[in-house]
Amino acid sequence: MPVVDYARYCEMLDRAKTEHYAYPAINVSQTDTANAAIEGFAAAKSDGIIQVSTGGGEHASGNLKNAVLGAISLADHIRLVAEKYDINIALHTDHCQPGKVDSFLIPLIEETERRRAAGRPNLFNSHMLDASELPLDKNMALSVPILERCAKCEIILEVEAGVVGGEEDGVNNEDAPAEKLYTTPEDMVAVYEALHPVAGARYMFAATFGNVHGVYKPGNVKLKPSILKDGQAAVVAKFGPEALFDLVFHGGSGSSLEEIRETLGYGVVKMNVDTDTQYAFSRPVADHMFRNYDEVLKVDGEVGNKKKYDPRSFLKAGRAGMAARVQHACEDLLSAGKTLGR
């Protein structure tokens, strides 16, 4: 089954960490971007992760602005389409801040609980709880009971400590203090101490090392990948090599390939890709509009050209552009050609 079960997802993450590559985690907000993500992974012969944010879920539900409904709709669509491909897809939800836990994260976990009770697969394979706005002790106090609930349903939980700068999905951290952009080794040890005791649980950790959401010119993002190396070393020194985290890289736009590749050696197995794929989708659409201006618009009383203003014509171009960028992300992260197969 191309949308993976828990065992296959764990196998994906284990292999990535052992062989030092990572999966692009592609944000989607409607069926065309979801299809583009699948098509890009298929072209790269890479397994991958497709994820929905609260804003993406709201968009997918139209004027209802119901993030849960939209997320369920997208997950079901991806499952149906991915079944026709020979790669593995994991379904994930992106940043959920504490204020949205009860309105977004918990309803989605409840939906998985209902599906499992009826003998159906999980809705999502993993969820992200982003409680990084809280002090670390309160962050973990919120994370632990959610991880316990996820473990019962074979859901992997992603957590974050430290703040990813920039702006994404309506959350603005552009003025975050510099020290908040770097997770300390002590923070990483504290996260392990809080989460490891949860029986049967698996989790991913988005540690921050100067990464920012959004897109910036080369040189404007000051990454310190050694933060990840030092944090992992601190955890291993205290608890042994089995304590190595499955790390997540947020805010990679504008990072050099050298910096991206360096993080793969420190345990990064998932890298979120959103800003770059948004542009890759929109750029061909803009090109279509400029090139076909007189046919898209009914200029000076003319009738235009239905073939050019049919949304399918420019959405197809956008989908192709985004799929190519997803394929490129797989190559950057060294997951291309490494699908586990069906």
List, by residue number, the catalytic residues.
94
Strand residues in the chain grouped as ranges (E): 23-27, 48-52, 89-93, 126-129, 156-161, 165-168, 171-173, 203-207, 212-213, 247-249, 268-273
The CA radius of gyration of the chain, in Å to the nearest whole number, is 20
CA dihedral (206, 209, 210, 216) positive or negative: negative
For residue 198, the Cα-to-chain-centroid distance in whole angstroms is 24
- The amino acid occupying position 288 is H
Three-class secondary structure of residue 180 per DSSP: helix
Nearest to 276 by CA among 311, 328, 207: 328
Q: List the structure tokens of 207.
A: 């540690």
Q: Is 326 exposed, middle or buried (0-12, 13-18, 19+ CB in 10 A)?
A: buried
